[in-house]
Amino acid sequence: MGNVIAVASGKGGTGKTSFCANVAVSLCALGEKVLLIDADSGMRSLDLVLGMTDSLLFSYGDVIRGNAGLKEAAVAHPVARNLRVLTAPGEPGIGEVYAPEDIAALLSRVRAHFTYTLVDCAAGLGADVLSFAAAADRAVIVSTSDYTALRGAQSTASVFSRIGQDNCSIVVNRLRPGMIREGSAANIDRAMDASGLSLLGVVPEDQAVIASGNRGSIMALDSFGPAAQAYLNIAKRLCGQRVRLLDQVPGREWKK
């Protein structure tokens, strides 16, 4: 059976969607069969990051309602081998909410076909976010190192625990060592203390992420920079490998 990972954030703007796309591609590079689900109904943007705006016709809502099969709705990425994408339902400003049991049944189906499924949840703690998180095998909360985002991560983890999702970790994204040295952002130890979560990975600020997103391409496919290496390391950890965190990050002497 496959592994479903709900990717959430306490607030918007943490880079959660870019995280999902790049970790998914990294998992595919490791030989895994991966499904990406855009679960941000009404505000979907994963198709833009993936360069698939015109090819995603059916949503996970269509699969739940029986209007399309999973194989039909989950579209293969044009470049990344073994990656399929299932988009969110709804039009801008018109969200659709499905019962928790419908979401759980959907995730049970995808486990039978994919070794890893990453669910790009909406920011915050809406009903659909809670349904996906409760039915997932684990949750990853993406945060930046600013204290507002870390408080949101802590609150998200607390709510997830109350609904039974205790397998939860944090990724500190868009890390800027200069700001940490100046005291303008939390270092890694303080970030972990502030969130109360175990650390899955650290992704440094990298202009290649923004540039690739604007081009409608996935950074991990054409970059070998620090962020690409960080995403690959996170993918390896999700697969159970022991991998060092990136060196030269202020606030900790990194060990295996």
Helices (H), the chain: 16-29, 46-50, 60-65, 70-73, 100-111, 127-135, 147-162, 177-182, 188-195, 207-215, 219-222, 226-238
One-letter amino acid at 125 equals L
Q: Which three-class secondary structure state does DSSP give residue 95?
A: coil
What is residue 181's predicted lDDT score, i.e. its pLDDT? 45
Two tokens, residue 24: 């998914």
Q: Is 208 exposed, middle or buried (0-12, 13-18, 19+ CB in 10 A)?
A: middle
- The answer to whether 186 and 195 are in contact (CB under 8 A) is no
Task: Give, for all 256 residues of the chain, the pLDDT tens digit.
Answer: 899 999 999 888 898 998 999 999 999 999 999 999 999 887 778 888 888 887 888 999 999 999 999 999 999 999 898 999 999 987 644 556 789 999 999 999 999 999 999 999 998 899 999 999 999 999 999 998 888 888 899 999 999 999 999 999 999 998 865 444 444 444 556 666 666 788 899 898 777 666 665 566 677 777 678 888 899 999 999 999 988 775 444 333 333 2
104's torsion region: left (phi>0), alpha (psi -120 to 50) or beta?
Answer: alpha
Q: Where are the domains of the chain?
A: 3-238
**Token representation of residue 37:** 């689900």
Is domain 3-238 classified as CATH 3.90.1150.60? no
Q: How many angstroms separate the CA atoms of 110 and 7, rounded? A: 16
What is the pLDDT at residue 104? 97
What b-and-e string marks burial along 247-256, b requiring 16 or more CB atoms within 10 Å of the CB?
eebebeeeee
pTM value is 0.87
